[in-house]
Amino acid sequence: MSSLRSTVAVIRKDVQSELRTRYALNALLMFVVTAVATILFALRSDQPTSTVLAGMYWVVVFFTAMSSLSRIFVSEEERGTTMTLQLVASPAVVYFGKLVFNTLLTLSMTVAVTILYTLVFSTFFVIQTVSIFVITVLLGSLGFASAATIIAAIVAKANTRGTLYPVLSFPILIVLLITVMNATAKALDGEALSAALGDFQVLTGYFLAMTAGSYLLFDYVWKD
């Protein structure tokens, strides 16, 4: 129970810190707007297929995540507060606190991208099966956050942070990206919920495996 309260305190600190500094939020919003505007200009009046739409949706989410999710550890490292956290919290408390914060950030990002897509591409971005889309976004965000958190912790210790983060993330996230794109295309095509159950199993398995692996690895990454 004490660890849970400490984890909540870490999340609270990060949320308050983010609201004051806007380290990740500004990068996130600017990237979403820029990427969606670029896609809008590129498409003009063309009618993309649901597979292309789903791909473009998650490409925006992927690159937005790359520009903002690493901040959770990089900002601690750059400000020299890593040791302060090490002195007051166990690695598990820090990891799960950061994971929840990154999940909240990823969910905010997917909500922002969805709203922008719905407004800008109102004629062809129509979600036919809402349940598939909502579950995909939830599970996809959990998977994204889980992978992004441990990669951010590793990258924060490196000198070449900016380039290393997407390079390390892409091979780790490729399975997740393919699955969420498939499931989103099914939601846009209006397929039944049962058609996406396999995708949901992959996404759940990905999240659980990534979180368990990260939990075991984090102690070594965080301490030295």
Partner 1 sequence: MEDRNLAMNQMSLAVAHVSKQFDRRWVFREISFSLSGGESIAITGKNGSGKSTLVKILCGVLSATTGNVRLSLGGKELTGGQVRHHIGLVSPYLQLYDEFSGAENLDLLSRIRAGGDTHVPRTEEVLKLVGLWERRRDYVRTYSSGMKQRLKYAFALLHRPFALLLDEPTSNLDAEGISIVKGVIEEQKRSGILIVATNNDDEASWCSQRVHLGG
Can you give the binding site for partner 1, defined by CB under 8 A? Answer: 1-6, 8-10, 12-13, 16-17, 20-21, 79-81, 83-90, 93, 223-224
Nearest-approach distance from CB 79 to partner 1, in angstroms: 6
Nearest-approach distance from CB 220 to partner 1, in angstroms: 9
Is the separation of the CB atoms in 191 and 136 below 8 Å?
Answer: no
How far is the C-alpha of 34 from the C-alpha of 52, rounded, in Å? Answer: 19
Using the minimum distance from each CB to partner 1, give the nearer residue, 86 or 114.
86
What is the torsion angle, in degrees rounded to the nearest 10, for the CA atoms of residue 28, residue 57, residue 160 and residue 82? 50
Is the separation of the CB atoms in 68 and 24 below 8 Å?
Answer: yes
Nearest-approach distance from CB 86 to partner 1, in angstroms: 4
Is the separation of the CB atoms in 74 and 142 below 8 Å?
Answer: no
Q: In the block, which residue shows the tokens 């750059």?
A: 78
Nearest-approach distance from CB 93 to partner 1, in angstroms: 7
Is the separation of the CB atoms in 188 and 121 below 8 Å?
Answer: no
